[in-house]
Amino acid sequence: MVKRIKERLYEILEVAAVGDITSKLFDIFIISLITLNVVAVILATVERLDSQYQYYFRIFEIFSVTIFTIEYLLRLWACTINKNFRNSITGRIKYIFTPFAIIDLLAILPFYLP
């Protein structure tokens, strides 16, 4: 049962296969969240907007980083479904050093650093 859940999660997290509505919706959600984050960062550079909506920018940032962190951890858990990352330990270490995993980590890491 756990293996099937991991397989399905891997399918959803990877680029949507033709006809996989759940995966497609997930892709749209993540791309939308990334786009909204870019817009929020741009808007926050306007001093008047930042001072007026700083609380909402912060709440949105926390929400976004939470979603991106969960996505990263789920990808790390499910990556062993891919034949390139089969081993539970070395496969995950290998996955962590893939370009997309590094980009994902660099995107969320600053939030957690002091």
Contact between residue 100 and residue 15 where contact means Cβ atoms under 8 Å apart: no
pLDDT at position 95 over 90: yes
DSSP codes, 52-68: HHHHHHHHHHHHHHHHH
User: Is the predicted pLDDT of residue 71 greater than 80, yes or no?
Assistant: yes
* Structural contact between residues 90 and 110, judged by C-beta atoms closer than 8 angstroms: no
Average pLDDT over residues 48-74: 98
Distance CA 17, CA 52 (A): 42
Going from the N-terminus, what domains does the chain have, and what CATH number goes with each? Answer: 2-112 (1.20.120)
Look at residue 111 and tell me whether its pLDDT is greater than 90: yes
Phi and psi angles of residue 14, each rounded to the nearest 5 degrees, phi first? -80, 170
pLDDT tens digits for 4-37?
Answer: 999 999 999 987 788 899 999 999 999 999 999 9
pLDDT in tens, 38-57: 999 999 999 999 999 999 99
Q: Residues near 75 by Cβ (< 8 Å), separated by ≥ 6? A: 13, 95, 101, 104
Percent of the chain past pLDDT 70, that is, above it, reads 100
